C-alpha cells in the first residue's frame, strides 16, 4: 500500500515538473526590470487577452526570448516597442499609441460618456415638474361637474341595486 501511495504521489508531482519556468540571465537589475515591464505590457498574439508573462504558447516564449536578446543588445525601450509593433501591429500593445488607426479605440469611451450624459440631461429636463398646491385645487366649475358626475353615479348604483333586489 505504501508503494502504491508513493507511486501516486510521484506521478502527481511529475505533472508540476512539466511547468518550465524560463530564467534569463541579466547583467543588471535595470535590465531585469525592463524585461519584466515588457513581458507584462505586451500582449500574446495567440492568446488574445493574456500578456507575455502569463502565456505559455510557443510564440510568447519566442517573444520573451527576443525581448531578452534585444535588452542584452542595449536596444532602447522605443526600439523594442517599434520592433514589436512593426512585426505584430498595435494589437500587441495593451495601451496602444494614439494615432489615426486607434483614435476610435481611445475616443469611443469619451463619446459614449457624453452621449449618456446628454440622454440623462434630456430625460431630466423633460420630466414633469411638481406643481404648487394652489393648482391642485379644483375650480368652482370643475367642482360642480364632479358633483354632477358623482350624483349620476349614485343614481345608477341605486337603480341597479333596486333591480337586483326585485329579481
What's the average model confidence in pLDDT over 95-107? 79
HSE-up of residue 12 (Cα within 13 Å, Cβ side): 6
Residue 15 has pLDDT above 80, yes or no: no
Is 3.40.50.300 the CATH classification of the domain at 32-94?
no
Segments making up each domain of the chain, as ranges: 32-94
**How far apart are alpha carbons 38 and 51 in whole angstroms?**
9
Higher pLDDT, 35 or 17: 35
Residue 1 has pLDDT above 90, yes or no: no
Short-list 89, 76, 86, CA closest to 37? 76
Q: What angle do CA 68, 70, 71 make, to 5 degrees?
A: 65
**How far apart are alpha carbons 23 and 25 in whole angstroms?**
7
Using CA atoms, how far residue 29 sits from 26, 65, 76, 93, in Å, is 7, 18, 16, 24
According to the model, what pLDDT value does residue 32 have? 92
Helices (H), the chain: 2-17, 29-41, 58-72, 77-88, 103-126, 133-136, 140-166
What confidence tens digit (pLDDT) does each residue in 112-140 have?
999 999 999 999 888 777 655 555 678 88
Q: What is the DSSP letter of 52?
A: T
What confidence tens digit (pLDDT) does each residue in 26-49 have?
889 999 999 999 888 898 888 878
Poorest-confidence range of 4-8, 18-22, 69-73, 150-154?
A: 18-22
**How far apart are alpha carbons 48 and 37 in whole angstroms?**
19
What's the average model confidence in pLDDT over 84-89? 88
Residue with cell 500574446: 44
CA torsion, ordered 68, 72, 75, 80, to nearest 10 deg: 0
What's the average model confidence in pLDDT over 55-67? 89
Residue 71 has pLDDT above 90, yes or no: yes
Residue 17 has pLDDT above 70, yes or no: no
Amino acid at each position: 500500500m505504501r508503494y502504491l501511495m508513493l507511486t501516486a504521489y510521484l506521478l502527481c508531482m511529475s505533472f508540476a515538473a512539466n511547468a518550465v519556468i524560463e530564467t534569463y540571465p541579466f547583467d543588471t537589475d535595470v535590465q531585469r526590470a525592463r524585461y519584466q515591464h515588457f513581458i507584462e505590457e505586451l500582449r500574446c498574439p495567440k492568446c488574445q487577452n493574456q500578456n507575455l508573462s502569463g502565456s505559455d504558447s510557443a510564440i510568447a516564449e519566442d517573444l520573451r526570448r527576443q525581448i531578452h536578446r534585444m535588452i542584452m543588445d542595449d536596444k532602447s525601450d522605443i526600439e523594442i516597442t517599434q520592433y514589436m509593433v512593426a512585426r505584430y501591429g498595435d494589437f500587441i500593445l495593451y495601451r496602444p499609441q494614439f494615432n489615426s488607426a486607434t483614435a476610435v479605440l481611445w475616443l469611443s469611451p469619451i463619446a459614449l460618456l457624453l452621449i449618456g450624459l446628454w440622454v440623462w440631461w434630456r430625460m431630466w429636463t423633460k420630466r414633469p415638474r411638481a406643481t404648487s398646491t394652489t393648482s391642485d385645487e379644483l375650480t368652482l366649475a370643475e367642482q360642480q361637474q364632479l358633483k354632477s358626475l358623482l350624483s349620476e353615479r349614485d343614481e345608477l348604483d341605486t337603480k341597479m341595486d333596486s333591480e337586483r333586489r326585485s329579481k
